[in-house]
Structure 1
Amino acid sequence: MSSNKPYLIRAFFEWIVDNELTPYIAVDAYFPDVQVPVAYVTEGQIVLNIAPVSVGGFAMGEEVIEFSARFGGKLEHLVVPFEAVAAIYARENGVGTSFEVNYPEELPEEVSIEVEQEEELKPPKKGKPTLSIVK
């Protein structure tokens, strides 16, 4: 059977938006084919606001979530495979769900991102975001 993860993410996304809340996803930035601004990755993870009013060109395809968003004033195109999503939740109250991120058996060599490179590209900290997962 195919993964139920894309269906669950779509359902939670719709439910959060229908309740006029802001959907956020926590993404494993080192998962194959993830395209996110590396400068905003912290400890291998990036949290993204995917509210329809916050992003452009939003599309949930069969295997990936694609959209454009601004980071530090610069427009970036992001690609997030559903399998890289570790959680989806509402920013306002933390209600959502988490998922296990299962890496494929064979990883391409370009997946490994050097931690030193990540440290060099980090933007200045503005306060530590919090994530609470409610099951």
Structure 2
Amino acid sequence: MSEISTKPYLLRAIYEWCTDNGFTPYISVKVNAAVQVPMEFVRKGEIVLNIAFTATSGLTMDNDAVKFKARFGGVSREIYVPVANVQAIFASENGQGMVFDQVEVDDEPLPQPNIEPAKPALGLASVSIREADALADAEKNQLQEKNQKKSEKPSLKIIK
């Protein structure tokens, strides 16, 4: 019988510690074909996700994957992250958490979405992957202008 990794248990423990202390838990994820996340928010093959109770619906963290629903740009999305793809979990308020050793994750090419021209829905437009980076940057700038009180991005501190 193969031994179960400690990683999913540590993820759940840090998540619980964050919520018990009123912190906002985030996970850093290495994106590949096994991960189901909004590709327009992926940067350099990684994405950081807020997994707080208030930001997710139906969050489950089992031994195989982290699964939940979340809203991105007002649109509900199903999120699926295999535990092997989680690089870190941390509290956004103070950066405390845990960074995991880099385990070899299949580096299959990222899935190329089948994007066909469509009518924009809810202010969203259909764009190609090449245009997605430019669009995401423009949307980010608009959000920053609307939200002057927006706090700084979360960062990790590695304490040795």
Structure 2 SS opposite 1:89: strand
- CA RMSD between the two structures: 2.2
Segments of 5+ residues of structure 1 without an aligned counterpart are none
% same residue: 38
Structure 1 SS opposite 2:4: coil
State whether structure 2 residue 69 is matched by structure 1 residue 68.
yes
TM-score by length of 2: 0.72
CA contact (8 A) 2:9 2:63 kept: no
Q: What is residue 148 of structure 2 aligned with on the other side? A: none
Structure 1's consecutive aligned runs of 4 or more residues displaced over 6 angstroms after TM superposition are none
What is the identity, as a one-letter code, of the residue corresponding to 1:113? L
State whether structure 2 residue 158 is matched by structure 1 residue 134.
yes
Between 1-10 and 39-48, report the one with greater CA deviation.
Answer: 1-10
Structure 2 SS opposite 1:17: helix
By relative contact order (CA 8 Å, sep 6+), the higher-ranking structure is 1
For residues 65-93 of structure 1, the C-alpha deviation after alignment (integer angstroms, 9 at most, x for no partner) is 10001111111000011111111000111
Number of equivalences: 129
Q: CA deviation at 1:95?
A: 0.6
Aligned equivalents of 1:76, 1:16: Cα separation in 2: 24
What is the identity, as a one-letter code, of the residue corresponding to 1:37? P
State whether structure 2 residue 131 is matched by structure 1 residue 120.
yes
Of 5, 10, 13, the match for 2:12: 10
Which structure has the larger Rg over C-alpha atoms?
2
Aligned equivalents of 1:45, 1:118: Cα separation in 2: 15
Segments of 5+ residues of structure 2 without an aligned counterpart are 113-127, 145-151
TM-score by length of 1: 0.84
Aligned equivalents of 2:154, 2:22: Cα separation in 1: 21
